[in-house]
Amino acid sequence: MSLPYLTEARAPLTREIEVINEHGEHETIQVPSERALTVYVDNRELVTLMTLGARPEWLVLGFLRNQRLVRGVEEVVSITVDWEVGAAAVKTRGGIERVEERTARRVVTTGCGQGSVFGDLMDEIDTIRLPHSVLTQAQLYGITSAIRLQESTYKSAGSVHGCALFRVKDSGPEMLLFVEDVGRHNAIDTIAGWMWLQEPSAMGGADKVFYTTGRLTSEMIIKSAQMGVPIVVSRSGITQMGHEVAQRLALCTIGRASSRHFICYSAPGRLQMQPELAGANPRATA
Amino acid sequence: MSLPYLTEARAPLTREIEVINEHGEHETIQVPSERALTVYVDNRELVTLMTLGARPEWLVLGFLRNQRLVRGVEEVVSITVDWEVGAAAVKTRGGIERVEERTARRVVTTGCGQGSVFGDLMDEIDTIRLPHSVLTQAQLYGITSAIRLQESTYKSAGSVHGCALFRVKDSGPEMLLFVEDVGRHNAIDTIAGWMWLQEPSAMGGADKVFYTTGRLTSEMIIKSAQMGVPIVVSRSGITQMGHEVAQRLALCTIGRASSRHFICYSAPGRLQMQPELAGANPRATA
């Protein structure tokens, strides 16, 4: 498989600003960077993404993947990001078919950040078959624990969403990639782009779990499903459409996930309960 | 001034779903509703918004206002929402000029929800002059206190953003409107729509403050400024572009606002500090 040529454009993830606190004191704090990145595909302007800028090439690749504008990584020749001009130039092998038509319909979706999904949200849902997989409660706790320990822009500057891809092994969950962005869709798209650059044989979904700090909205569920990942864990809750889509896909959604607490909203068959790990149950009678 | 005819389409704001918690127990919880609302302007499809559906007519009106597709409320003849088909039909007096061109450019922005701003984000910034206004620290605490007491879908179901418009009087802040939605841009757009339906003389910005549970992103700041409101308070933090835009507008942004704590990021001249109200300062030396 021939992989695209990618630049490695880097830029500072935070910036210092001066503020005043409730005691009237001047302080210096960090805020996350936020930059406009205009994506040009074969010299044609496609979209402007607002991003933290951690991994712009993976973001653009994943955006094209998750918007289903490109069917395979081999269709992309190169992605050249230049922060001086805030542009990402994508060169494709054969162009994007019917790009006009396919980017014409706008759905302004619920999620943070990159809310627009070009085309019909539900387009491909019924063609997706997610692999069999089971996550144990102990492995789930391993995931929330790894997230808690992760160094992050969120800890230093707040105001960003995080996403992670885990491989679940008998020895415990392994964090393959952790990405933050000002919009959480950028974060999951960046993971999607990175996955396309790995050996396809290593990127099957049966042993994978997505983690997101953001809400479980329909687009997040659909993006996970499109990448074949059948379990999504979130620190936040779920929306109605997220729930409906997850049920239709038999995708396991777990929300409000903190150290010991969580709620499983859908496909509980994929979660092997070990309630003895949850500690004392306040409702249990003696 | 002739106001548009609006339907009053209502729909349930929450729905019950069955879940399993960490003790392996089945529970019934509420999740926020989330519906697709496709907006047609003079029989032409414009956009599909994903919304909680509390006030769809105000949302559509505010969307048209904040996207600057309609210059005045008198240009809108009627907005007819039908949840059966998930459609909002807008009739305008003279049509939207150059609608093709003006909705052609996509900027996928950082904020939650309705991320797309058609056209150039910064378009009109430099033409905006915000009125003189001062908020005291006591009034700010009155705002965070009113938000804390507000009954909400967030309290019953989580996973929604809230927005409020306050009028600040000597007797304390008065909450004029509180709106929640699955996307926080929908919430602020709903307020913008509602404001257009009030007496213009009552909707000057000098005595107004916006509150949002979401982050202070550039789009939130710009939307507030477009409505003439020079002070925005948030439970969350700020992004770099939010900060830059707020400084350029001399719009006062206050974040991390909880019972006593807050950070003022920009235009501190609009905030009258009363540090004695903040309680003991852990940094103060005896």
The answer, for B34 touching chain A at a CB cutoff of 8 Å, is yes
Q: Which of B31, B99, B240 to mutate to test the interface with A (most CBs of A within 10 A)?
A: B240
pLDDT digits (tens, 9 = 90+) for A51-69: 888 899 999 999 999 888 8
Pick the residue from chain A with its C-alpha nearest to B45.
Answer: A105
Place of tokens 């213009």: B200
- What count of other Cβ atoms lies within 10 Å of the Cβ of residue A133? 18
Q: Quick one: pLDDT at residue A152? A: 80
The answer on pLDDT for A107 being more than 70 is: no
Pick the residue from chain B with its C-alpha nearest to A257.
Answer: B22
pLDDT digits (tens, 9 = 90+) for B70-101: 989 999 999 999 999 999 999 999 887 766 66
Alpha-carbon distances of A122 from A79, A248, B113, rounded to whole Å: 28, 11, 18
> Out of B35, B218, B243, whose CB is closest to A31?
B243
Q: Quick one: pLDDT at residue A120? A: 54
Q: To 5 degrees, how large is the angle CA A269–CA A275–CA A277? A: 125
> Looking at residues B170-195, what average pLDDT do you find?
91
- What count of other Cβ atoms lies within 10 Å of the Cβ of residue A12? 10
The answer on pLDDT for A93 being more than 70 is: yes
Residue A242 has which token pair? Answer: 């997220």
> Looking at residues B251-256, what average pLDDT do you find?
96
List, as ranges, residues 58-87 from A with C-beta within 8 Å of B.
Answer: none
Residue A160 has which token pair? Answer: 């960003």
The answer on pLDDT for B25 being more than 80 is: yes
> Do residues A41 and A164 touch, judged by C-beta distance below 8 A?
no
The answer, for B247 touching chain A at a CB cutoff of 8 Å, is no
> Do residues A246 and A264 touch, judged by C-beta distance below 8 A?
no
The answer on pLDDT for B60 being more than 50 is: yes
Quickly state the pLDDT bin for A175 (edges 50, 70, 90): very high
The answer, for B183 touching chain A at a CB cutoff of 8 Å, is yes
> Do residues A109 and A211 touch, judged by C-beta distance below 8 A?
no
> Looking at residues B7-35, what average pLDDT do you find?
92
The answer on pLDDT for B6 being more than 90 is: yes
Tell me if the domain spanning A5-123 has CATH number 3.30.1490.190: no
d(CA B257, CA B242): 16
pLDDT digits (tens, 9 = 90+) for A201-220: 898 999 999 999 988 988 88
φ/ψ (deg, to 5) at B58 = -65, -40
Q: Which of B28, B29, B109, B285 to mutate to test the interface with A (most CBs of A within 10 A)?
A: B109
> How many angstroms away from the CA of A109 is the closest CA of chain B?
5
The answer on pLDDT for A124 being more than 80 is: no
Residue B202 has which token pair? Answer: 């009552």
Listed by start position, the domains of chain A span: 5-123, 135-278
d(CA B197, CA B73): 7
Q: Do A264 and B20 touch (CB under 8 A)?
A: yes
Tell me which residue of B86, B77, B69, B76 sits closest to B34, measured CA to CA. Answer: B86
Q: Quick one: pLDDT at residue A109? A: 45
Q: Quick one: pLDDT at residue B113? A: 31
Residues in chain B: 286
Fold observed for domain B5-122? Ubiquitin-like (UB roll) (3.10.20)
Tell me which residue of B192, B247, B240, B238 sits closest to B214, measured CA to CA. Answer: B238
d(CA B109, CA B113): 9
Q: Do A34 and B240 touch (CB under 8 A)?
A: yes
List, as ranges, residues 107-146 from B with C-beta within 8 Å of A.
Answer: 107-116, 137
Q: Quick one: pLDDT at residue B159? A: 72
Quickly state the pLDDT bin for B158 (edges 50, 70, 90): confident
> Looking at residues B167-185, what average pLDDT do you find?
89
Q: Which of B13, B14, B17, B23 to mutate to test the interface with A (most CBs of A within 10 A)?
A: B23
Q: Quick one: pLDDT at residue B111? A: 38
The answer on pLDDT for B218 being more than 60 is: yes
Contact list in B for residue A107 (CB cut-off 8 A) is 36, 47-48, 50
Top pLDDT among A44 and A158 is at A44
> Looking at residues B22-32, what average pLDDT do you find?
92
> Do residues B245 and B125 touch, judged by C-beta distance below 8 A?
yes
Give the residues across from A168 on adjacent strands: A173
DSSP B226-276: HTT--EEEESS-B-HHHHHHHHHHT-EEEES--SS--EEEE-GGGEE--GG
Contact list in A for residue B15 (CB cut-off 8 A) is 240
Per DSSP, which regions of chain A are E strands?
5-6, 14-21, 26-32, 35-41, 44-51, 76-82, 87-92, 107-108, 135-136, 161-169, 172-181, 208-212, 231-234, 252-255, 263-266, 271-272
Which CATH entry fits the domain spanning B135-278: 3.40.140.10, 3.40.50.2020, 3.20.19.10, 3.10.20.30? 3.40.140.10
> Looking at residues A101-128, what average pLDDT do you find?
54
> What integer best gives the mean pLDDT of chain A?
87
The answer, for A178 touching chain B at a CB cutoff of 8 Å, is no
Pick the residue from chain B with its C-alpha nearest to A24.
Answer: B275
pLDDT digits (tens, 9 = 90+) for B113-137: 333 443 455 666 788 899 999 999 9
> Do residues A157 and A31 touch, judged by C-beta distance below 8 A?
yes
